[in-house]
Amino acid sequence: MVRTKILPILVCLTTLSSAARAENKPPFNLNNPKRIEMGKLRFETSCAGYCHGFDGVGGTAPAFRGRGDGLDPSYVFETITNGRKGHHAVMPRWGGAYTPEQIWELVAYIEFLAHQKPPQTK
């Protein structure tokens, strides 16, 4: 009896979760140079300064530049949208500030960085 009640709820939640993730698809080609440039502008004022560096290398977080680990665009989108609570620092939630399209432009720039040459170690 209990199982029959829980199962539809679980199915429903799973379906909702899949639907939510399905929405996390870019509405444009992430390789579009104009979108990458828009993302770069936003990155410089939102992400670079103290945290991720102007070249995608900086802070206590792993470098974006030259990651080469198949950075999942939807994962990046969700992280930017919801923020992340670290220890040394807090990544603010950007979902209240930027539209999904603007966040996808940030994703485009970060994906662009990920495919550049890795930084030289000092």
Partner 1 sequence: MKFASDTRLRMLALALLTTAAPLMARAETVRQMGMASPNDWPEYHRTGAAWAYSPLSQINQSNVTKLKVAWIAQPGDITKGLQATPIEIDGVLYYIGPYNHVYALNGATGKIIWQFQPKLAPISDQSFYSATSRGVTVGRGKVFIGTLDGRFIALDQKTGKEIWSRQLVDLKTTYGSVFSSPPQLAGDVLFGGTTGGDQPTNQKIYAVNADTGAPLWTFDTIKNDPKSWPGKSGEVGGGAAWMPGTYDKTTDTIYIGIGNASPDFYGKDREGDNKYTSSLLALNPKTGKLKWARQEIPHDVWDYGAPYEAVLLPTGDQKTLIHLNKSGFVFVMNKDNGHLRNVWKLVHAQNTIKEINPKTGELIGRNEAVVGKKKLLCPWLLGARSWNAGAYSPQTGYWYTNTMEACNIVVSKKDNPSALKAISALSLGAADLVTEPPPSGKPRGQLVAFDPVTGARKWSVTYHIPALGTVLATAGGLVVNGDVEGVIHFYSAKTGKELWNFNAGSGIRGGLISYAIKGKQYIAVPTGLGSAAVGFMANAFPKVKTLPAGAALVVFTLP
Residues that bind partner 1 (CB under 8 A): 41-42, 44-46, 48-51, 53-55, 57-61, 83, 85-90, 92-94, 96-98, 102, 122
Q: How far apart are CA 12 and CA 38, in angstroms?
A: 37
Minimum distance from residue 65 beta carbon to partner 1 (Å): 12
Closer residue to partner 1 in complex, CB, 12/90: 90
Q: Which amino acid is at 44?
A: E
Closer residue to partner 1 in complex, CB, 4/45: 45
By DSSP bridging, strand 84-85 and strand 90-91 are antiparallel
Closer residue to partner 1 in complex, CB, 28/54: 54
Minimum distance from residue 16 beta carbon to partner 1 (Å): 23
Report the run of H or E that residue 84 belongs to, with start and end. Answer: strand 84-85
Contact between 116 and 57 (Cβ < 8 Å): no
Tracing tokens 């991720």 back to the chain, one arrives at: 52
Minimum distance from residue 112 beta carbon to partner 1 (Å): 16
Closer residue to partner 1 in complex, CB, 26/58: 58
Minimum distance from residue 98 beta carbon to partner 1 (Å): 6
Q: For residue 110, give the nearest of 29, 47, 51 by alpha carbon.
A: 47
